Amino acid sequence: MSNNPFGEVIFSYTRKQAIADGILVDLSQFEVTRSEWRLHVACTDTVWNIIDAAVKNDRKDYEGVLHDIYTMTRLAVSEASNTDTIHFKAIVGRTVHDFRMHCGPGDDATPVLTLMLSHEDWLAKTHTMGAAVANMDDLIRSGAKSVVEEMAKAGFLTQRKR
C-alpha cells in the first residue's frame, strides 16, 4: 500500500514520451533555442505545424521563425512579474498568433518551457484521453497499438507534418 494520500500512480505520461509521440516537438534541437534559453524548450504539435507551414509556404527558415517568436516572448517576459506563464502575440508566416510560454517542472522536476497557442493545454490532451479510455485494459482490448493511436482516433491530436 502506498503512503500517497491519492493512492498509487496507475498511469503517467512523461514529457519525454510526449516528444517521442509527436504531441510535443523538442525545440532545443535548434541552435537559436539553445542560445536564447538555458532551459529545455518544446512546443505543441499545433505550434510546430504553424512554424513548419511558415517555413514551407513563406520561404522562411526554422531558426528565423523561432528567433521571432523568442523575441516576442522575451518582450512579454520583461513586462510580466511573478508568473509561470507568459501570454504574447507573434507574427508567424503572415498571421498573428496568440501564444503562451509556460515554465513548469519536467520529468525530473527541473524547470522546462513549453510553447503553445494561448488556448492550448498539452496536458489536457493527455488527461482528456485518460478520461476517454476507462482503463488500460480497455485500451489493450481495443487493439490499439499505443495511447497516441487512441488519442488520434479520439481527435485529441493534430497530424504533425514532416
pTM: 0.72
pLDDT digits (tens, 9 = 90+) for 24-42: 999 999 999 999 999 999 9
For the chain, what are the domain ranges?
15-119
pLDDT at position 162: 42
Quote the CA–CA distance of 142 and 157 in Å, as a whole number.
19
